[in-house]
Each structure stands twice: as structure tokens, then as C-alpha cells.
Amino acid sequence: MMDAAITREGLEQILDQALQDVTERTAGVRLHQDDQPLGEDLCTVHITFDKGFATSLTLCADTSLLVRMASNSFHEDAVTQEDLEEFSKEYFNVLCGKVAGAVFRATQVSAHFGPPVFYHGRYEPEGQEVQFVLTYSDEHSKGAQLIHHMARPDEGGAASSES
Amino acid sequence: MSKRIMMVDDSRLARVQLEDVLEGTDYQVAAYCRSGEEAIEQYAAVQPDLVTMDIIMRGMDGLDAAEIILKNHPDARIVMISSLAYGDTFDRAKAIGAKGFVEKPFHREQLVKIFEQALS
């Protein structure tokens, strides 16, 4: 499990650096950690690590933040629902790859993960419990939470990411 | 004269990013393929100076596609592009003859340096 191979503080640092770096380089948006709660109009992207680590990562964000990031990245003023989902999945895929690379450099364990799944609203993966949450906001006070889940001890593995 | 890149990637985000970071450089995206199969089919017609090949794509993965292109065109210069630039993936890319490995998201200086090395 990810926490068994790396300390929680180490993993939090990897996730924080990856999220800030990937967000700024793909979408030109700077996020900083704070405790501001998310709004009510949310989207979630979820990825399950299926080899190396029995864990999953979830990004739950204000829809308007993801729309702004998609607009910046695709150079489109108007972002469709399809654009939003496509951007969110590709962005989170790159983010998780960056995390997996950093974890590999720290532990020499190769972590593979499945395709990202997109949801409107907040999504809680079944059979998993939250290990920790990193909360961010941008300069417009729109926020995102990066959530690290692990399978509950009695579940025997990561839950399916399919809805 | 600009160097012609054939980009193989099923990600729209990656395509836009590559075009952004190559703006103002001596490289231009001359062809865009959304799959390994399409790249194998298009390579001879495009005759690019360099191929950027994503690894994880729908259908044939980028490592298999690169291996086939290099078998058919031993002088092809292929740079693997992925967020999974480590471990066994990195070792296999080197073994099949890829000229370099670039991590996503792209960083202009790193990308151009690896392109220059691949073409030298």
C-alpha cells in the first residue's frame, strides 16, 4: 500500500508538488493550500491504482474552476460538457502519472493505474476510506480537494472505479 | 527550415500543449495521429524528422507502435512521451531504440533539448 512504502508526510508532499506543478503547466492556474470549503456545483475525477499500490486518488473541484482550467488549456472561450470531461480526465491522468513517477523514485515500486472516471457532483469510492484530504483554492476563491483513499481492511483491495 | 514532427497521442490536451511549447522553435507538428495503428500507416507518407509517441493509447500502445515503425524504418527517430517515464517502461523504450523519453506535462527547454539529442 502507498502508505506502507512512503510516509504520509512524504506522500502529501509528492501530491502537493504534483498538483501545483501540473495545474500551472497545463492550465496556467496557480492553486494554494487552504481550508476553504468547496461550493455546491462540483465535479469529480477518480483513478484507482491497480498495481503496486491498493489505493486511489480523487479530485473533487468546483465546476467553475475546472471550466476555467479547460478553457485555458484548450484555448477555447466556451467549454462544452464534453470538453470539461475530456480535460478533467486528461489532466488527472497526467497528474497521477507524475505522482506515480515520484513515488517510484522514492520507493522503487512501479505503480500502475486505470483510466480516469469522471462524475458530475461529489463521488465517494465504495469500499474505501479517506486517508487524507489536501484542499486548495485559486485566486478567485474556487476550490479543489485532492483525496487519498485506501481500501477498508475488510474489503481486500481497491474498489472498482466504474460507476 | 523547421524540423517536421509527427505527433502520436490520443490526448487533445497533449496536442495543444505540444503545439504551445513548440511555438517559436525550429520544430513544427506536421502530422497528428491519434493511435499507434494510424502512425504505422502514415509514417512512410509523412516522412517526419522526428516522431513523438505517447505510450498509453486506445488500441495498440506506443511502445509496440514504435517497435513496428523502427522495424520498418530503422532510421526513424522516435521520442517517447508519457507521464509514466520510469521503471520497466523506460527500460523497454530504450531497448527498442527510442531516442529519448519526455515526461508530461511538457517543459519547453527539456523537450527541445531531447529533440536536439534525438536528431544529432
Please, are residues A120 and A137 in contact by the beta-carbon 8 Å criterion?
no
By C-alpha distance, which of B21, B2, B25 is closest to B81? B21
Torsion of CA A16, A21, A22, A23, to 10 degrees: 90
Instruction: For residue A110, list chain B residues with Cβ-Cβ distance below 8 A.
Output: 86-88
User: Mind listing the domains of chain A with CATH numbers?
Assistant: 2-151 (3.40.1550.10)
Instruction: For residue B103, list chain A residues with Cβ-Cβ distance below 8 A.
Output: 97-98, 101
* Residue A10 buriedness (CB in 10 A; 0-12 / 13-18 / 19+): middle
| Residue A93 pLDDT | 93
**Residue A94 to residue B82, Cβ atoms within 8 A:** no
| Residue A157 pLDDT | 47
**Residue B16 to residue A101, Cβ atoms within 8 A:** no
**Among residues 73-132 of chain A, which lie with CB inside 8 Å of chain B?**
73-75, 86-87, 90-91, 93-94, 96-98, 100-101, 104-105, 110, 112
User: Mind listing the domains of chain B with CATH numbers?
Assistant: 3-119 (3.40.50.2300)
pLDDT digits (tens, 9 = 90+) for B70-119: 999 999 999 999 876 667 788 889 999 999 999 888 999 999 999 999 99
Please, are residues A143 and A134 in contact by the beta-carbon 8 Å criterion?
no
**Among residues 15-44 of chain A, which lie with CB inside 8 Å of chain B?**
21-22, 25-26
What count of other Cβ atoms lies within 10 Å of the Cβ of residue B8? 30
- Partner A contacted by B85 (CB < 8 A): yes
Question: Is B10 a residue whose pLDDT tops 50?
Answer: yes
| Residue B82 pLDDT | 81
Separation between Cα atoms, residue A145 and residue B100, nearest integer Å: 35
Dihedral sign computed on CA atoms, order A70, A150, A106, A111: negative
| Residue A1 pLDDT | 47
| Residue A105 pLDDT | 86
List residues bridging with B5 in a β-sheet. B29, B50
By C-alpha distance, which of A38, A44, A3 is closest to A135? A38
Separation between Cα atoms, residue A21 and residue A112, nearest integer Å: 21
Q: pTM of the entire structure? A: 0.88
Instruction: For residue A26, list chain B residues with Cβ-Cβ distance below 8 A.
Output: 13, 17, 105
What distance, in Å, lies between the first and last C-alpha atoms of chain A? 23
Among all chains, which residue has been given the C-alpha cell 530504450?
B94
| Residue A18 pLDDT | 96
| Cell of residue A25, nine digits | 503547466
Which residue ranges of chain A lie beneath pLDDT 70? Answer: 1-4, 51-52, 154-163
Separation between Cα atoms, residue A41 and residue A52, nearest integer Å: 34
| Residue A115 pLDDT | 87
| Residue B64 pLDDT | 96
pLDDT digits (tens, 9 = 90+) for B48-74: 999 999 988 888 999 999 999 999 999
Separation between Cα atoms, residue A92 and residue A46, nearest integer Å: 8
Strands B50-54 and B78-82: parallel
| Residue A54 pLDDT | 77
Element (H, E) at A3: helix A2-5
**Residue B83 to residue A86, Cβ atoms within 8 A:** no
List residues bridging with A9 in a β-sheet. none
Question: Is B12 a residue whose pLDDT tops 70?
Answer: yes
